[in-house]
Structure 1
């Protein structure tokens, strides 16, 4: 295997700066997804308790949502433990999946608004859309459950650095100098 030549001081500063900026942007991406996920979950519970009457406010499909949410949360925790994710990594997957689904929903809503204003020239079409009806609530809750289902780990987490025992070393065959020893491979 050929080794990389040592970088100059300017090259090291350049690669370090690029690595730092990429790390910062990756962290901002994850933070944004987590905040979107929290916002989406808060919106789901805002839909459920919209009238402020406690348990009397909950309809049958909202009870179903909460029961499925508990079951999917248990599934997520079980798979996170099984596949070696810690609490924070499991929570990050959960919130990230919620954030992605909520972000896709916001983009779809923005496209609907943009297309209706662009091609119709007015917002009359938006008044005809029933975005606050029961079907919209069920769709929003179903998307949150879908994100919960898809956010669970499905395979063991990759180790950041492979252990020396895990890496295989190719050994070249050697010939022994004594005539009574065999050739080892």
Structure 2
């Protein structure tokens, strides 16, 4: 998938080095995950040592950002309902849980230098490519094109908004439906 994205970006900036394009794609994927919770790990251990004085947030892959939800004593809780996330790796509980290991949903981002997970590339690859085009076309190089960069910036920002909405709606597909008012 990454190779396909590189080829998409090369079409708009053929003189750009492939390594620069790859690094920009990784940077934009990291930014998308940070801004819009585009990579959420579900049903994985999220908090270790929860029943101690020093509980820690951990991700099975990548770098943890935000806890979306936790299962505490058999009940799914969100931020403010029994716990608060102090930093990306620290959490505090209103009441100490009985379990040591808590499962839930955790928003993550790729660590610097790591490859982007396939699940993010498959779902948000076009948005990531738009962001990479935007940044590459603004570099002070012979391929610089500010007008085209502005176009891709708008596409990237629209994609980030879509990803954010997708995350807030619980990663569901389809839109909300509203019944029309009856005409009297």
Q: TM-score range by the shorter chain?
A: under 0.3
**TM-score when normalising by structure 1:** 0.26
**Greater Cα radius of gyration, structure 1 or 2:** 1
Give the helix-richer structure, 1 or 2: 1
